[in-house]
């Protein structure tokens, strides 16, 4: 697969490069970055020193590749296609939120619910990181028609979720030993979460009360969601394990989840607890992998008929 990357200097592009350099079926043709044109990739993504001699380019040829990854910020993808002609047959995997409403022929790239549609797609809108963690916590309940009340969710995210450009809330001296809430009840990922839940449970119109929290760690998302249900824990565990039986990266644990089980992998690790009438679902992912670039490569594999796990067998860093 001949691959091009637009927006090559950010965190998600760095993780994407790390995966694709080691992917058995991938050849990177260009990595575009206007601000870094001519520089070796490893000067920006320093962990890639010794792994690649690629340099960032200012120009690109969309006719020379099979698939294009768009790794720029939200809003840039639509502008990119206003300025550039899309070649016939080009596959697109967009990591921004521009097409997550499935407009203009894009398929929402959450394999655990859209695997067959992704295999037939030419354009993929990769899900958001918080959206991935919370959806994976709720999909089995939606499929069973059991989301019949308000959903409460709190998610803590690492600082890499804010992007590579420094800002007031990403500066080390502010983020270290600190927690803060942002976009309470109004996070942009709520729209895509509701869209998918309605796909599985038509007519779903319950409130999702979501509190996002900035964590004082670099990467990972730890999400805690709970609803009222009359299911007992054994019924709930069976529901979840059956739903994810064929999902190579989503695992239901019988023990409490630790964030370190998921960080540096494409895994989502889920655990369930029942407290009175409330079912608590805890989900952990790496925001840069299952929440972004790892899931993008998972979608790449599905589009091209490769094993879903190709290039994604990554071990967590436990210590």
CA 89 – CA 73 distance, rounded (Å)? 24
Which residue carries 């929440």 as its tokens? 291
CA 163, 166, 169, 170: dihedral to nearest 10 degrees?
70
Instruction: Write down how long the chain is.
Output: 319
55 catalytic residue (yes or no): no
Contact 261, 317 (CB under 8 A): no
Given 6, 20, 96, 129, the catalytic residue: 129
* Residue 44 near residue 55 (C-beta atoms within 8 A): no
**Residue 213 exposed, middle or buried by CB count within 10 Å (0-12, 13-18, 19+):** middle
Strands of 268-275's sheet, edge to edge? 180-181, 208-214, 151-157, 221-228, 278-285, 268-275, 250-253
Which of 33, 30, 29 lies closest to 7, judged by CA?
A: 33
Catalytic residues, by residue number, are 129
């Amino acid at each position: 697969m001949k691959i091009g990357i637009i927006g090559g200097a950010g965190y998600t592009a760095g993780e994407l490069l790390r995966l694709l350099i080691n992917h058995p079926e991938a050849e990177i043709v260009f990595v575009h970055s206007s601000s870094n044109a001519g520089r070796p990739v490893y000067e920006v993504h320093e962990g890639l020193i010794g792994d690649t001699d690629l340099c960032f380019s200012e120009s690109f040829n969309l006719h020379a590749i099979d698939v294009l990854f768009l790794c720029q910020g939200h809003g840039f993808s639509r502008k990119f296609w206003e300025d550039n002609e899309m070649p016939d047959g080009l596959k697109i995997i967009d990591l921004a939120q521009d097409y997550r409403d499935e407009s203009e022929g894009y398929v929402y790239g959450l394999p655990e619910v859209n695997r067959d549609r992704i295999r037939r797609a030419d354009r993929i809108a990769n899900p958001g990181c918080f959206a991935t963690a919370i959806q994976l916590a709720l999909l089995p309940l939606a499929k069973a028609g059991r989301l019949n009340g308000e959903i409460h969710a709190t998610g803590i995210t690492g600082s890499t979720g804010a992007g590579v450009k420094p800002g007031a809330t990403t500066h080390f001296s502010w983020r270290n030993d600190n927690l803060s809430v942002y976009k309470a009840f109004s996070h942009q990922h709520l729209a895509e979460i509701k869209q998918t839940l309605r796909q599985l449970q038509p007519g779903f119109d319950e409130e999702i009360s979501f509190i996002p929290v900035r964590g004082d760690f670099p990467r990972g998302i730890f999400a805690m969601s709970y609803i009222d249900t009359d299911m007992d824990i054994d019924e709930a565990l069976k529901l979840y394990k059956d739903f994810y039986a064929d999902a190579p990266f989503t695992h239901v644990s019988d023990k409490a989840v630790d964030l370190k089980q998921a960080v540096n992998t494409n895994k989502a690790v889920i655990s369930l607890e029942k407290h009175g009438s409330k079912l608590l679902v805890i989900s952990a992912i790496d925001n840069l992998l299952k929440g972004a670039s790892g899931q993008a490569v998972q979608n790449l594999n599905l589009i091209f008929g490769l094993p879903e796990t190709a290039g994604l067998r990554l071990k967590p860093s436990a210590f």
